[in-house]
Chains A and B, each alone.
Chain A
Amino acid sequence: NAGVTQTPKFQVLKTGQSMTLQCAQDMNHEYMSWYRQDPGMGLRLIHYSVGAGITDQGEVPNGYNVSRSTTEDFPLRLLSAAPSQTSVYFCASSSSSGSGFYEQFFGPGTRLTVL
């Protein structure tokens, strides 16, 4: 299994540009999520999905859109990039969205710079 994969690894955007960060997992996990990590900070939840067709907002959703048309993929869209969105973005997945314990698996991250 490749686990959780993210593309691209690095990206530079100009203010106002849009782009999509890709995330895929091959573990048939129901739950997927996006976090951002700013320098010297912990991770903050942007959006999450408990299954195909179902998404919800996390702690810092403004400026980002998500959709979940398949179990495997959970892309994150930046509608109009701003310098404040310069960050490292991590995608994660886990096997369940219920109340039991399930380990979260994280991707390697996408390092985004907005000029």
Chain B
Amino acid sequence: DAKTTQPTSMDCAEGRAANLPCNHSTISGNEYVYWYRQIHSQGPQYIIHGLKNNETNEMASLIITEDRKSSTLILPHATLRDTAVYYCIVRAGGGNKLTFGTGTQLKVEL
């Protein structure tokens, strides 16, 4: 699986968009980008995934660059409840056997 690089921590004001970057410069053509988050030591929660195209669901948007070497997770209107560690994971095939790095600690403040 391709290695990912994320900033250790980020801050965001409540109500603003939170943009979380992820670099995956060695990604292969068959590898998906997955995002999970972990709120205060709870079990991780799936957010979104994508292969080439940008994706949007009720939680977030995922923007993948054309060369697929980086991506950005966007939480359009961050709330205090979005404070969590966000993991960017690159994996071929299905979404099992995930490799979690240390992620980005997002802190949403008033």
Contact = CB atoms under 8 A, between A and B. Distances in A.
Interface of A: 4, 31, 33, 35, 37, 40-45, 48, 58-59, 88, 90, 92, 94, 96-109
A94 B95 contact: yes
Chain B residues touching A, majority SS: loop
Given A42-B103, A101-B49, A33 B96 contact: yes
B36 to A, nearest CB: 8
8 residue pairs, one from A and one from B, having the closest CB atoms: A106-B43, A42-B100, A43-B100, A103-B46, A99-B93, A42-B101, A106-B44, A90-B43
A9 B103 CA distance: 24
Q: How large is the interface on B (under 10, 10 to 19, 20 to 34, 35 or more residues)?
A: 20 to 34
Given A103-B46, A106-B43, A108-B42, A44 B100 contact: yes
Contacts of A100: 94
Nearest to A50: B96
Interface of B: 32, 36, 41-46, 49, 87, 93-103
Contacts of A37: 100
A90 to B, nearest CB: 5
29 contacts: A31-B96, A33-B96, A33-B97, A40-B102, A43-B44, A43-B98, A43-B100, A45-B99, A48-B96, A48-B97, A58-B97, A59-B99, A90-B43, A90-B44, A92-B43, A94-B95, A94-B96, A97-B94, A97-B96, A98-B94, A101-B32, A101-B95, A102-B94, A104-B44, A104-B96, A106-B42, A106-B44, A109-B41, A109-B43
